[in-house]
């Protein structure tokens, strides 16, 4: 079973942990950057960051499932946000999709993403116990 740790001396947040310890023998699942696109590559959500995040997280769940994982198995989440995106608008949709999972998270603000109009991109690493 993967351990998610919140060491003393580091900021304590209900939204994330700082450390994930993956047990020997676990299968690692790597998910590349997911944008708010449909199966044909069309952008979903327009300029509504919450709508885009909902689609991004749905795509993330689909990708995780293909590798036999769920959001509860995620041990590292990487989030790219276009520089002027309001994190307060994006966070509730992401938190809802994570369904209580609190993996370590890195959030970066970027000038832009490869998909024109995309406001957010999420990649993840998951570990599935055998």
pLDDT at 17 over 90: yes
- Residue pair 129/2 in contact by the 8 Å Cβ criterion: yes
Measuring CA to CA, how many Å separate 38 from each of 33, 53, 67, 69, 86? Answer: 14, 13, 19, 21, 23
CA–CA dist 88, 83 (Å, integer): 13
pLDDT at 115 over 90: yes
Q: Is 82 helix (H, G, I), strand (E, B) or coil?
A: strand
Give residue 130's pLDDT: 81
Give residue 103's pLDDT: 96
pTM score of the predicted model: 0.93
Give residue 123's pLDDT: 98
Residue range 21-41: mean pLDDT, rounded? 96
Strand partners, 107: 79
H or E element that contains 127? strand 120-128
pLDDT digits (tens, 9 = 90+) for 48-99: 999 999 999 999 999 999 999 999 999 999 999 999 999 999 999 999 999 9
């Amino acid at each position: 079973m993967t351990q998610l740790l919140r060491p003393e001396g580091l900021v304590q947040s209900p939204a994330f942990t700082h450390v994930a310890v993956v047990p020997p023998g676990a299968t690692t699942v790597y998910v590349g950057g997911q944008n708010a696109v449909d199966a044909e590559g069309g952008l979903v959500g327009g300029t509504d960051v919450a709508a885009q995040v909902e689609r991004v997280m749905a795509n993330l769940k689909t990708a995780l499932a293909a590798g036999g994982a769920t959001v509860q198995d995620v041990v590292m989440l990487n989030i790219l946000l276009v520089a002027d995106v309001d994190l307060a608008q994006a966070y509730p949709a992401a938190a809802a999709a994570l369904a209580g999972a609190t993996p370590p998270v890195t959030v970066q603000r970027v000038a832009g993403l490869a998909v024109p109009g995309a406001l957010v991109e999420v990649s993840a690493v998951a570990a599935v116990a055998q």
